[in-house]
Homo-oligomer: A and B are copies of this chain.
Amino acid sequence: MAYVAHYSDVPQQDLHNGDTIRFTKKRVLIGEKEGAPNFIMRYFTIEKNGFTPLHKHPWEHESFVLKGEGIVQTEGGEKKIKPGDFIYIPPNELHQFKNVEEEPLEFLCIIPMQKEEK
């Protein structure tokens, strides 16, 4: 059955490990639990000075920036990101999201099913 909810109703998972991931939280909005067959919609919040891991993996990201500003580091260099920007990261490309501003950086990041990771 179809459903509607607000992202803030979904509990956040704190991914911070003080090392490769800092000040980063994740909400899984739509995924396997909700019966989605093909892809997972996740909502990330990166606080000031936070970052996701600089890593690569065999699956793609399709992201959309909702709030705040930050930097995405890829094999092509660093690019600034702001609300309304979308980001495509193909499979097996090194990437990292960073927040270098005061305000939280918030974005959607969609991945194919069974590829859930930090």
Chain A interface size range: 35 or more
Copies held by the complex = 2
Q: Which residues of B contact A35 (CB under 8 A)?
A: 88, 90
Footprint of B on A, CB under 8 Å? 1-8, 29-30, 34-39, 41, 59-60, 62, 64, 66, 72, 74-76, 79, 81-82, 84-91, 93, 95, 108, 110, 112
A38 contacts B41, C-beta separation under 8 Å:
no
Given A5-B85, A86-B30: A39 and B93 interface contact (C-beta under 8 Å): no
Q: Is the interface of A mostly helix, strand, loop or mixed?
A: strand
Q: Which residues of B contact A72 (CB under 8 A)?
A: 2, 4
A4 contacts B38, C-beta separation under 8 Å:
no
